[in-house]
Chain A
Amino acid sequence: MARMKFLCDEERCIECNACVTACKNEHEVPWGVNRRRVVTMDDGLPGEKSISVACMHCTDAPCQAVCPVDCFYTTDDGVVLHDKDMCIGCGYCLYACPFGAPQYPQEGAFGARGKMDKCTFCGGGPEEDHSHEELEKYGRNRLAEGKLPLCAEMCSTKALIAGDGDIVSDLFRNRVIRRQGRQETWGWDTAYQD
């Protein structure tokens, strides 16, 4: 059985934020909610690194363990999703998540927390596939269309990879072997490979 995973290659990420834009556009994510974001370490210093972070769809998801209303479930593909109709917006999952994935739209005059929103691995939610309700609550269901998450599919440097964990790790292992301990950002092989 497949276990869908994201992997971001920090040697390739150029902090273009196209994955963030693609995600927001694809799912019509409201203002103030970022299902995905690019984090830069040692910004402005030599050797700075960037990675694109969203829900990592943990195998043993802490959000799922702490949810007081048990609104999380893991699909057969290993994607962690939740039922927004059950979510009470308590914020426990935000504290439990090591990646800061859960997001809350601000509702009302005093910024009260709305229902939690997070990356769905472009897999929609517990509504009928391609229905209006699914689009409205969870965004597009690309997995049901036979497609992978848009953020990874359109990554120009192929830094962000999404797919079955076994295939993703094979691809990344080959990259590491090919690099032979040096960065891929210089050398003739980069531009004229194959």
Chain B
Amino acid sequence: MKIILIALTMLSLTACYEDTDVTIHEAGVYKGKVDKHNQTSEEREAILAKRFKQVQTDR
């Protein structure tokens, strides 16, 4: 009886298996309009870093 119970428990637990693999969706290629900027990313980075020091300083 005990063995049957253990076997039944084992069988029922095998049904609880769940696939844990994550489905990864890669982002597609952007199909919209091109976002043009007046400055290069390096120029903008320098400007925004300077701005950060001006307005986001800690207190």
Q: A-side interface residues toward B, CB under 8 Å?
A: 1-2, 4, 61, 64-67, 69-73, 75-77, 81-83, 85-86, 124-129, 143-144, 146-148, 152-153, 158, 161-164, 167, 171, 174-175, 193
Q: B-side interface residues toward A, CB under 8 Å?
A: 25-39, 41, 44-45, 47-49, 51-52, 55-56, 58-59
CB within 8 Å for A164 and B49 given contacts A72-B30, A126-B32, A193-B59:
yes
Identify the 8 closest CB pairs spanning chains A and B, nearest first. Answer: A83-B32, A76-B41, A70-B28, A73-B30, A126-B35, A126-B33, A64-B27, A163-B52
Interface of B is mostly: loop
Residues on the B chain within 8 Å of A127, using CB: 33
Residues on the B chain within 8 Å of A4, using CB: 48
Given contacts A158-B58, A158-B59, 20 further A-B contacts (CB under 8 A): A1-B41, A1-B45, A2-B45, A65-B25, A73-B35, A75-B35, A77-B45, A83-B32, A85-B33, A126-B34, A143-B44, A146-B48, A153-B55, A153-B56, A161-B56, A163-B49, A163-B56, A164-B48, A164-B49, A171-B58
**Contact of B41 with A73 in the complex, beta carbons under 8 Å:** no
Interface of A is mostly: loop
CB within 8 Å for A70 and B59 given contacts A77-B45, A148-B51:
no
